[in-house]
Amino acid sequence: MNEPLTLTNKTLERLRHIADGNGLEPNDIHLIESEEKDYVIEGKIRLEPQCDIEPRHYFGPVKGKDRRVLPHFAAMSEEVNRQKENFLKSKSWLAPVIKELQNEPGHGWGLQDGKIPLPDLTCVLAATENCPACGNAGGLTCTQCQGQTVVICPHCRGQGQEECYNCFGRGEDPVNPQKPCPICLGTRFAPCRYCKSTGKLPCPSCQGRGNTTCKECKGTGRITQEVAINCHAKIHFQILSASSLPSGLLRSMDRLGMAKLPKGHADISLQFPENPEEEKPQDALSIQAHLPYADIKVRLKNKAFQIAAFGKRGLLSGIPPFLDESLKPWLEHLEQAALGGPGLDAAIESRLIRDALKLELDGKRQANDLRRLYPVGLSPKTAQSIMRRMEQALRRKTLRTRVAAAVLCFLASSLVFAGLFFTPLHDEIAKAVSPSLLMAIDVLVPAAAAGFCRIVIIRSARWALQRHYPGIPVKMSQKIGKMGYGVLGAVLAVYGLFYAFASGKIAF
């Protein structure tokens, strides 16, 4: 039965795996010395009960379910203060909070100012009162008509009659001045046309109702107030004295982040009280993080360097980019391939360069994609250079195939255009369809040809890569580049030339 690997052994095994196939032999990495120890980091969690009060109001009766309805606003305010005071003084919240911490994987480690909700201690209070402005009437007496529903007619000033509109108050017939006006019969006044001789009009403010809608309650007559009492416990996390910890361990913890420590890096244990009801809410709970740490000194050929290995996952720091040096022969081949040389097949003899090829063919072209496979030993600058040169090398490798596909597409498109314009086909289409449809066809044909050429060029590049690397799935799509766009322009130019000749605008 094999013994479980220690952190030092895991680190050496990982470095040797990275070195294997990348210009270094696994035996080139030797352990000089190692100091490994499991450290216990002490911390404390202080729990603080808090109540968030969220008021809101709306018009009309209480809406929604699960509301505790109180008789009036004052009673609701008193109940809010009572529940808040009871919660803050009571210890009933401590047991569910501790239970939540027990179920949480990290037990609250690193959660500064985090909140643990207490849904069982959360409620919504509501109360409804008559509108103080309208007294549950929903409306107010109209200020313009004082509730009378009508106002004095402004045209006749309440007289019920106006100056005769036919004779303009002269009393004479405008056609025959010797006779009295046929409308007012010589009285110079006629019944008011606006109020129909009543002297009054419906009030324009209330439309004759005598009252207006109350703005305070929007005509409902009642106002409802709700208060949501959200109770929770706030977590205050603090690490106790860490002066005895190695500086490398402190740097690793700061780089990782305290809140991420429980996520597979350390074992967290929390000292739970046997009887939470007897604990004081302000008392802090003791919490510990158990994690391994190793200072490892390694020799790589003739160079020695210090490594810090941290946590159960064995996060490494202090490793120099040793792959940058060991990969130089293959990087030179890759650079030649990027410039059009035949060095790509030689470059992918390196495992790392071959992995970069697989990423490129899978459509993952970022340097971070490669660094996820090789998080140590490879500098960001080198990773970026490898991915950029790999993309250039693959474009060079498919250049001939793309050129051949472009030429064939150009010739095929030219033959199609010639068959369309140098035979009676276009004239027959023009006779069979309307002018607008013919125009649409004339536009769609070159667009379809250009689109087809673009697809063929892209597919030809993918086919060439799949043919050359049959064991690797190819998902990437290469850009058609300047050459491809040049072909598309030539296709459109040929179409325009043939179209102009068929239209008689030019002659050969």
Give one DSSP letter per residue of 471-491, joined into a string.
Answer: TS--------HHHHHHHHHHH
Inside any domain, residue 409: yes
Q: How many domains does the chain have?
A: 3
Q: Is 171 within a domain?
A: no
Cα angle 194, 199, 201; round to 5: 60
Same structural domain for residues 389 and 426? no
The residue among 173 and 292 whose pLDDT is bigger is: 292
- Residues 333 and 252 occupy one common structural domain: no
- Shared domain for 435 and 476, answered yes or no, is yes
Of the residues 339, 369, 397, which one is the last residue of a structural domain? 397
Report yes or no: 93 and 121 within 8 Å, Cβ to Cβ.
yes
Residues 340, 423 share a domain: no
Whether residue 221 is contained in a domain is answered as no
DSSP assignment letter at 217: T
Of the pLDDT bands very low, low, confident and very high (cuts 50, 70, 90), residue 356 is very high
pLDDT band at residue 296 using 50, 70 and 90 as cut-offs: very high
Does the predicted TM-score (pTM) go above 0.75? Answer: no
Structure tokens, 449: 């040809």
Structural domain includes residue 227: no
Residue 496 has pLDDT above 70, yes or no: yes
In 60-111, at which residue ranges do the beta strands (DSSP E only) sit?
Answer: 68-70
What is the reported pLDDT for 273?
65
Burial string for 41-74 (b: 16+ CB within 10 Å, else e) reads: bebebebebebeeeeeeebeebeeeebeebeebe
Residue 278: predicted pLDDT: 55
- What is the amino acid identity at position 40? V
CB-based contacts of 300, cutoff 8 Å, min separation 6: 24, 28, 29, 30, 322
End-of-domain residue from the set 321, 343, 359: 321
Pair 348, 391 in one domain? yes
Residue 377 lies in a domain: yes
Angle between helices 481-502 and 399-421 (to 10 degrees): 10
Q: Is 298 helix (H, G, I), strand (E, B) or coil?
A: strand
Domain of 384 in residue numbering reads as 322-397
